[in-house]
Structure 1
Amino acid sequence: MPDRRLSGMTSDPQTTAWLDQEDAHLAAVIRRSRFAVQYVGPGEQPGEPAFGYTIGLFGLGHPELVVVGLGATTTHALLDAVAGEVVLGRSLVPGELLDEPAVRGGLVVEECPNPGEVLFGANRWYRRPPEYSVPALQLTWSSPPGSFPWDPGWDGGRYGQPRPGTWTA
């Protein structure tokens, strides 16, 4: 499997063929649903969390969405639900509180200040270098007791959700 940081610039025929298949699959999903969800499992280095993000919302004039620190099933369900609202015309803004059934206490929309270090697949899709990355919003979820990372008593190590801009892919 190619490196998770792969930018698409390679001369290896096997990797090029794999990327071509991924591009065709991604195009079919975006054509059908208007967006796709890219899930990236936890990295091999400490501090590399699992995360997921959308690809396709930028083409609708909206920032892509990022969720960090949740499992694949929850990440997909959450991004499918919220991105589906964007497809129907909703515009999310930083600071907004979303009531999402997949997360007990809800979600807060925050700006992702370093999308070029996170959205490799989306930037590849839109052919944008990291320094001109597509914009993104991080959906910050509350812990099972209902607290957010900025609340007293938040246990970031236990819940594994880094703050926007403090992590990279």
Structure 2
Amino acid sequence: MALGACTSLQLQQWQDQEDAWLRDTVRRHGWAVQYAAGAPPFAYTVGLYGFGHPELLVYGLDLQASAWVLNQLGDKIRDGERFGPGRPMQLAGWSHRLQLFPFHDGDDPPVLGSAQRFYGRGGADPVPALQLFWDDAGGRFPWEDGYELPGGLQPAPRPHSPE
């Protein structure tokens, strides 16, 4: 359904179904992965905050790669591992390195809309999140010289700016 062409009742019904799916998925698995096929595409977790860990967000990957990366990290978090900004890391079975940066989701509407709704949070006090960046085939990240993927595929991190 095209959300722009919905009545407010249809939008509420869609959101209720989405929220029910989310609650059920988080209850059964510990987290869910939400995917948005925009430009650029992005995916994020909902439920990792319940483990005392920031939610995770990744841009520029297709549905399968996004879900695989986020679920691999989700499994590690469920098992007690914690991730934060810092050194590059690698997942077994994936050729890319990852780096994490704080992500402040103060937009209206929020980027991590389902996560904010799930936890009853919003722009003034969004759920904590980390943005994952992955390197190109040459091992370079978007901020490094020679990065060979399209600009904007992985938007710059958005840390919280004090007001």
Shared topology, TM-score over 0.5? yes
Q: Of the candidates 69, 73, 88, which is equivalent to residue 78 of structure 1?
A: 69
Distance 1:98 1:111 in 2: 16
Deviation of 1:33 after TM superposition, in Å, equals: 0.7
Alignment of 1:11-26 (within 5 A): 12-26=8-22
Residue in structure 2 matched with residue 143 of structure 1 by the alignment: 136
Q: Indicate yes or no: 2:43 matched with 1:52.
A: yes
Q: Which runs of 5+ in 2 are unaligned?
A: none
Question: Aligned partner of 2:16: which letter?
Answer: D
Distance 1:138 1:115 in 2: 14
Distance 1:95 1:104 in 2: 19
Deviation of 1:159 after TM superposition, in Å, equals: 7.7
Q: Indicate yes or no: 2:153 matched with 1:163.
A: no
Deviation of 1:105 after TM superposition, in Å, equals: 3.2
Taking a change above 3 Å as real, the CA distance of residues 67 and 115 of structure 1, as seen in their structure-2 partners, is farther
Question: Aligned partner of 1:153: which letter?
Answer: G
Identity across matched positions, percent = 36
Root-mean-square deviation (CA, aligned residues, Å) is 2.3
Taking a change above 3 Å as real, the CA distance of residues 31 and 107 of structure 1, as seen in their structure-2 partners, is same
Give every structure 1 segment of 4 or more consecutive aligned residues whose post-TM-superposition deviation is greater than 6 Å. none
Taking a change above 3 Å as real, the CA distance of residues 103 and 143 of structure 1, as seen in their structure-2 partners, is farther
How many matched pairs?
Answer: 156
Residues 64-112 of structure 1 show CA distances to partners (whole Å, capped at 9, x for unaligned) of 0000011111001110101111111111011132212454231011111
Deviation of 1:149 after TM superposition, in Å, equals: 1.5
Deviation of 1:20 after TM superposition, in Å, equals: 1.4
Taking a change above 3 Å as real, the CA distance of residues 49 and 14 of structure 1, as seen in their structure-2 partners, is same
Q: Which runs of 5+ in 1 are unaligned?
A: 5-10, 43-47
Q: Any idea what SS the aligned residue of 2:16 has?
A: helix
Deviation of 1:137 after TM superposition, in Å, equals: 0.3
Alignment of 1:29-108 (within 5 A): 29-42=25-38, 48-101=39-92, 103-108=94-99
Scaled by the length of structure 2, the TM-score of the pair is 0.85
Residue in structure 2 matched with residue 127 of structure 1 by the alignment: 120
Q: Any idea what SS the aligned residue of 2:26 has?
A: helix
Q: Indicate yes or no: 2:146 matched with 1:153.
A: yes
Deviation of 1:60 after TM superposition, in Å, equals: 1.4
